[in-house]
Amino acid sequence: MSQNRDFAAVILAAGKGTRMKSGMHKVLHAIAGRAMIDHLLDSLAALHPSKTVIVAGDRHEQLRDALVGRNVVVALQEPQLGTAHAALQAEAALKDFRGLVMVCFGDTPMVKASTVQRMIDALDETTRVVVLGFRPADTLTYGRIITADDGSVRKMVEHKDADESERQCDLCNSGVLIAHSDDLWRLLKSVGNDNAQGEYYLPDVATQAIAEGARVVAVETDPAEVAGINSRGELAAAEAQWQRLRREEAMEAGVTLRAPETVFFSHDTELAADVTVEPNVVFGPGVKVASGATIRAFSHLEGATVGEGCEVGPYARLRPGAVMEKGSKIGNFVEMKKAILGEGAKANHLTYLGDAEIGAGANIGAGTITCNYDGYFKHKTVIGERAFIGSNSALIAPVTIGADAIVAAGSAVSRDVGAGDLRMVRAEQLVKQGWADRFHDTMKKKKAAEKKD
């Protein structure tokens, strides 16, 4: 954006969102683990807005709480008299701002900064207002943008107020517009409510500008970019759209997805080139995977860092704070939480590693558990380099296993093990010769006697 064109954003989020049937504000519902309003704010951040105002109504307190730390102002619309009335509520927050103002909706989170930039570029000395249009496969009840032969906008009309010829037009209004602040507030104040709904409609800003003899133009974009989210079904469709685009981006960047449609990303997932992801993998927030790593089928990762050449799964779970260093491996039904698995270390199956630090080259046997919680506090387990932990061992933290030490299978270790030592913690085995044979004979006779009775 040109440096001499100051830009501000007004986001309308005052609707009740009744179709969501939720106690949570509509724009706080998540796509890829991130609230839809945050997706939109992140996109607009690329344009460096001088100010951003969110106009809220019902459940406005939820928005204020959710946006703490964001450089935004929440303005209140009460009562709610329509979209033009909502946009006008941002005037006070922008009273000292002079420049271009974009008005959009909080429930259309896929709007791209590049599209807004095209709208900005379309504003010039002869154009007073720019609106964003799209051509859907089904025009449904969208408002229409009626254009003249020269491509300028001749009329903006809501579906309910359109006649049959106007409804034949397939250029629909997304609700996004841009105007200079000198024009916007004046035009908003001149909007009336003489329509089927008795509301003050935002598109009438363009209608008012046209009535003044000003030029209004429409910029077109893909319908998917401006799809509104008003129900759980539409939220799911937006999630599917986002995931599809993210999978395509990943593969273009050199990631192998064996069954792309079964892999789900979070908004901040980072996969390096030459990562391989097998079917049915879910990435929660905060995951980074380095080059050459393989994430095998049915694994779930969240808040985890996977190093170069590592192998995860199948059926593995990495929870927040899990770090796998270069060449390490966890196998089926292994769970890590707040634990570091050193370079080349392995935990191949049926293991829980929590609040632990495992040294390079260590081998963790099947069924090993780091007992990190005493009911009140978490404690740490440290396992040295090249240590061998036998199957079905319980390491009762806090405890340290030295380098090259061996913990025998079936041990419950509650004291530190020195480097190079063997620790075996087992009850003495008792053998009663012939006892099992005598037991079987007695039971068989008893059962036979019961049948005779």
CA 413-414-418 angle, 5° bins: 70
429 labelled binding-site residue: no
Q: Is residue 373 annotated as involved in ligand binding?
A: yes
Q: Establish whether 13 is an annotated binding residue.
A: yes
Report d(CA 1, CA 232) in Å as an integer: 35
Strand partners, 289: 271, 306
Query: For residue 371, what is the enclosing H or E element?
Result: strand 369-371
Q: Tell whether 372 is in a known binding site.
A: yes
Look-up: residue for tokens 């928005």? Answer: 63
Q: Is 33 annotated as a binding residue?
A: no
Is 426 annotated among the ligand-binding residues? yes
Angle at 34 between CA 311 and CA 284, to 5 degrees: 15
**Residue 152's beta-bridge partner residues?**
217
> Residues 102-114, buried b or exposed e (16+ Cβ, 10 A)?
bbbbbbbbbbeee
71 marked ligand binding residue = no
Does the annotation place 14 within a ligand binding site? yes
Q: Left (φ > 0), alpha (ψ -120 to 50) or beta: where does 213 sit?
A: left
201 is in an annotated binding site: no
Any binding-site annotation on 158? yes
3-state secondary structure of 286: coil
* Cβ–Cβ under 8 Å, residues 307 and 291: no
The reply, when asked if residue 391 is annotated as ligand binding, is yes
Tell me the torsion sign for CA atoms 19, 23, 27, 28.
negative
Distance of CA 374 to the CA centre of its chain: 34
Q: Are 204 and 191 in contact (CB under 8 A)?
A: yes
26 annotated among ligand-binding-site residues: yes
268 annotated among ligand-binding-site residues: no
337 is in an annotated binding site: yes
Please report how the helices 36-45 and 113-122 are oriented relative to each other, as an axis angle in degrees rounded to 10: 50
| 21 known ligand binder | no
374 in a labelled binding site: no
CB 217 within 8 A of CB 152: yes
Would strands 144-147 and 256-257 be described as parallel, antiparallel, or unpaired? unpaired
Angle, CA 407 vertex, CA 404 and CA 410 arms, to 5°: 160
Q: Binding site annotation covers 259? A: no
143 annotated ligand-binding residue = yes
The helix/strand/coil state of 237 is: helix
Which is catalytic among the residues 25, 39, 300, 349?
Answer: 349
Per the annotation, does 82 bind a ligand?
A: yes
User: Is 349 an active-site residue?
Assistant: yes
Q: Which two tokens stand for residue 97?
A: 């701002």
Alpha-helical runs (H) found in 132-231: 164-167, 181-190, 204-211
Determine if residue 376 is labeled as part of a ligand binding site. Answer: no
Which residues contribute to the annotated binding site? 12-15, 26, 77, 82-83, 107, 143, 158, 173, 230, 319, 337, 352, 363, 366, 372-373, 391, 409, 426
Catalogue the active-site residues. 349
Which residues contribute to the annotated binding site for UDP-N-acetyl-alpha-D-glucosamine? 12-15, 26, 77, 82-83, 143, 158, 173, 230, 319, 337, 352, 363
Which residues contribute to the annotated binding site for acetyl-CoA? 366, 372-373, 391, 409, 426
Which residues contribute to the annotated binding site for Mg(2+)? 107, 230
